[in-house]
Amino acid sequence: MFVASLFRWKLDVYLRKTVEIVQQSYDVGMFTTAHTTKIAAAALAAATLFSLAACTSEDPAASETTSSNSSASSNADSSTLRVASDLTYPPYAYTDNNNPAGFDVDMSNALAEKMGKKAQFIDTRFEQLIPSINSGRADIIASALYITKERAKQVDYIPYFMTGNSIVVKEGGPDLKTVTDLCGLKVGAIKGGDIVDQLRNDGSDQCKAAGKDAIDVQEFPTDPEATQALVSGQVDAQVNDAAVATTLGKNGSVKIKITSDELLYPIPVGLAVKKGNTALEKKVVKALDDMKSDGSYDKLLKQYNLKEPDDAAVKKALGE
């Protein structure tokens, strides 16, 4: 289920890449050898991942969410909160036995209940999230949408959590708490992630200022590969998304533990409604405040190893 969601996400990426390359070929008016090779490679990767997804899925129909609360409705229902969420991004949002699951799903269900509504999840690819609420297909976005100044021109945000990174070591490993604890160590991270540059630049600068060796960042194509390197002793620690780290830590077959207490390089994340939809924004804010009052909000954040958004971080993200 969890692994199948990851395969389906990769499959979707390769299929979209194939279409993109074909479109580029039409745009230039010909299929060059380079274009043909790229198309073949992308198509082969998609076909391979399709086979793997079929093998890892518990249900042949798992490539599409068939839960009754995941389909879109053409018209808004006063008793329904239509939630646009990319259900290919565990542990924030994914499908478990064809049902929406994850932090954003749990949060949306709780908010909808406080509003006297029922959440209806509309599985929407990330790049279509904002268009989905602007077109009226959905009412709200709950899909780990980072708060940025550019997006704030299109939507109104309701900050609801901070994400960031956690330090992970194998069981029995050193008790590493902060970035400077990583100085001089080999640290695994996902290739191309923001955390790679943050550790190599800001992190290593902190190390040098403390008179220590720089962090030796080792990049891996995927988080699981970085974890395998950690378990096998190729690296001393791993740094990855806090919620992903928590999910990994609950997997009994992987003997690792989270050692950091605070998020590294925190990033504010927001629910989003259509720009100017003040009525819905106020209702969501009220529901969120009610969750904070009864303790359910804090309980949910702790369950996924997340933190309440910091006002200063939100203002910084918005360029204020």
Global pTM?
0.59
User: Is the pLDDT assigned to residue 43 strictly greater than 80?
Assistant: no
Average pLDDT over residues 43-66: 38
pLDDT band, residue 157 (cuts 50/70/90): very high
Phi then psi dihedrals of residue 299, to 5 deg: -65, -40
Phi then psi dihedrals of residue 50, to 5 deg: -65, -45
Which of 93-97, 133-137, 229-233 is the least confident region? 93-97
Average pLDDT over residues 153-164: 94
Query: Three-state SS for 84?
Result: strand
Query: Three-state SS for 146?
Result: strand
Give dist(CA 304, CA 269) in Å, integer.
14
- Write the pLDDT tens digit of every residue in 201-248: 999 999 999 999 999 999 988 778 888 999 999 999 999 888 888 877
User: Is the pLDDT assigned to residue 258 strictly greater than 60?
Assistant: yes
CA angle 87, 127, 84 (to 5 degrees): 45
Query: Three-state SS for 194?
Result: helix
**pLDDT at position 204, please?**
95
**pLDDT at position 178, please?**
97
User: Is the pLDDT assigned to residue 2 strictly greater than 50?
Assistant: no
pLDDT band, residue 33 (cuts 50/70/90): very low
**pLDDT at position 100, please?**
97
User: Is the pLDDT assigned to residue 6 strictly greater than 60?
Assistant: no
Q: Which amino acid is at 16?
A: R
- Looking at per-residue pLDDT, the higher value among 246 and 279 belongs to 279
Residue 85: beta bridge partners? 123
Give dist(CA 235, CA 111) in Å, integer.
41
User: Is the pLDDT assigned to residue 35 strictly greater than 70?
Assistant: no
**pLDDT at position 164, please?**
86
**pLDDT at position 243, please?**
82
Q: Which amino acid is at 208?
A: K
- Looking at per-residue pLDDT, the higher value among 10 and 194 belongs to 194
Considering the chain, what percentage of its residues have pLDDT values greater than 90? Answer: 53
- In the numeric block, which tokens belong to residue 248? 């990994």
**pLDDT at position 245, please?**
87
Give dist(CA 18, CA 12) in Å, integer.
10
Among 233, 221, 235, 227, which residue's Cα sits nearest to residue 184?
235
**pLDDT at position 276, please?**
96
Among 81, 93, 116, 119, which residue's Cα sits nearest to residue 273?
81
User: Is the pLDDT assigned to residue 12 strictly greater than 60?
Assistant: no
CATH H-level superfamily of 80-163+267-317: Periplasmic binding protein-like II (3.40.190.10)
At the topology level of CATH, where does 164-265 sit?
Answer: D-Maltodextrin-Binding Protein; domain 2 (3.40.190)
pLDDT band, residue 1 (cuts 50/70/90): very low
